[in-house]
Structure 1
């Protein structure tokens, strides 16, 4: 449940209260008109109706630059409902669903390429490299948690679901910059540090099996479900489960020590994690019905959806084939 607050010209008050009733708002109230002639109308809206109401409000005020639509979270609503109604309200609260606009506001933060993103990437790479070199699993996990590399990939899947080309390029740019910076730092460390690749934390990042593919798919789906259900705190667990930073750091350390075979194995693990996250996130967004607001945008996004789903599925099939060939499970054709 959220409070949808609309700040618009006072002449829209009757229309807004009518929309609140039509979309089943639990309650609606309005304040006094200000000196600029605008009035705030607030509606207490459940999760099932909020997206439809938000879409209608955007259509109503698409030509009004002064209008504002603000969605505010609600922690607790105290009522005198019967126990049965209270149980029903609790059930709905546990199935929190975010609107398209709320998701966009949350996800776009992860695709933002700024100083904080680069600094966090550099620091997490240093922490990960130390953890790998010292075979310290706690330090490696710490690096996974602070690394900001998962956000751009989720943003990329979300952008393709909406057909938002600007966000697609922003997510790609941030992803390439983050992975590139991490790789360069790891290569520099590998050039000045003699690495023992028999250490468990390093050895496990130079090989990948089918279990790793399943883990990455499940973790990517869990990441998007945690966002769409409003349970962003579970993202910490996802960051650990499908970490992108340790394989990237391992690639750099192996390249710095001229261990091309191990670098290839770590690269395969990184590629599997990225492709699986993108494919799983894409499928969850599709299942959740995340799509653009207008018909034209939906038609354009539908085309890009098919293209990207086919692309990620093809890449995953190629990666699985490579994994099976490396493991000897699938015999080469020559």
Structure 2
């Protein structure tokens, strides 16, 4: 459930209450008119009706510069609401519990390049490099969990699906910077530290086959489903299944040691994971109804179109096919 509070000019009160009724709100009520002539209308709505109500509200508010919509999660209400008396419409989002507005806000945070992101990359890379060098599986898994690299990769796919060019490009830049920092730092550590390149944790990231492609696609799709369902605890398993940091750290370490042949395997694994997550995320977002739309006062002029979505998917598919061919050639197929 969601509590939607609409702050708007007082004359819109009847239309807002009518929208709440039309979209099967559990309850709706109004406050008194403020000194500035605005009124607060609150609506309690089931999750399956929230997105359509939000779209209707935004369409109404497009020409109201003083209007604002606030969405809050609701754990429960007393009395408990009964079962909705209407079945979800065919165009209802497939299994998506968060509204597009909530997803956009969450993804915008994941795609930011700030001091916390850089610090987490720095710390997780050190932890991963130590775990790999010492052949310590627990430390490597811990570094996977604290590494923030999966966020901007999924955010890029979300930005492309939403048609938000600025968000997608910012996330892509953040992902490149994060991966670049991880490779550079691990390269320096590998050059200065006597790291063994023959232990199990390192060798596991230099071997890549078609099964890794299937795993990365599956885990990427699961990660987006976990994110859009609002149950972020499931993302921990996805971070471990399709980790980006360990292969990036192994790639840098092996470059620092001058071991270029096994470094190629780590680079292939890293590329497969990144591209598969993006492709899987694009399809899951498409299935869940994430598509370009108008926004209230977002101020974005340039947008991706469905054609752009297809072009990015084609680029990713071609890159993935190229990587699979390299994997097969490298494996002596």
Once the two structures are TM-superposed, the CA of residue 78 in structure 1 deviates from its matched residue by 2.9
**Distance of 1:300 and 1:121 partners within structure 2:** 30
Is 1:276–2:288 an aligned residue pair? Answer: no
Q: Decide whether the 8 Å contact of 2:165 with 2:304 is kept in 1.
A: no
Q: 1:11 to 1:81 in 2, by over 3 A?
A: closer
**Distance of 1:36 and 1:267 partners within structure 2:** 59
The residue aligned with 2:311 is 307
| Secondary structure at the counterpart of residue 315 of structure 1 | helix
Q: TM-score, normalized by length of structure 2?
A: 0.92
| Secondary structure at the counterpart of residue 230 of structure 2 | coil
Once the two structures are TM-superposed, the CA of residue 80 in structure 1 deviates from its matched residue by 5.6
The residue aligned with 1:332 is none
The residue aligned with 1:109 is 109
Q: Decide whether the 8 Å contact of 1:161 with 1:304 is kept in 2.
A: no
Deviations 1:166-208 (A, max 9, x none): 1121011101111111111101101111221110000000111
Q: Decide whether the 8 Å contact of 2:164 with 2:304 is kept in 1.
A: no
Q: 1:308 to 1:82 in 2, by over 3 A?
A: closer
Once the two structures are TM-superposed, the CA of residue 252 in structure 1 deviates from its matched residue by 0.8
Q: 1:83 to 1:10 in 2, by over 3 A?
A: closer
**Distance of 1:46 and 1:96 partners within structure 2:** 13
**Distance of 1:13 and 1:218 partners within structure 2:** 47
| Secondary structure at the counterpart of residue 197 of structure 2 | coil
**Distance of 2:212 and 2:246 partners within structure 1:** 14
**Distance of 2:81 and 2:74 partners within structure 1:** 17
Q: 5+ residue gaps in structure 1? A: 86-94, 330-334
Residues 90-129 of structure 1 aligned to structure 2 (within 5 Å): 97-129=97-129
**Distance of 2:174 and 2:58 partners within structure 1:** 30
Q: 1:270 to 1:80 in 2, by over 3 A?
A: closer
**Distance of 1:53 and 1:305 partners within structure 2:** 26
Q: Which moved more, 1:229-238 or 1:274-283?
A: 229-238
| Secondary structure at the counterpart of residue 305 of structure 2 | helix
The residue aligned with 1:206 is 206
Q: Which moved more, 1:151-160 or 1:49-58?
A: 49-58
The residue aligned with 2:322 is 318
| Secondary structure at the counterpart of residue 154 of structure 2 | helix
The residue aligned with 2:169 is 169
Q: Decide whether the 8 Å contact of 2:223 with 2:235 is kept in 1.
A: yes
Residues 39-54 of structure 1 aligned to structure 2 (within 5 Å): 39-54=39-54
Q: 5+ residue gaps in structure 2? A: 86-94, 296-300
Q: Decide whether the 8 Å contact of 2:96 with 2:288 is kept in 1.
A: no
Q: 1:47 to 1:317 in 2, by over 3 A?
A: same
Is 1:327–2:331 an aligned residue pair? Answer: yes
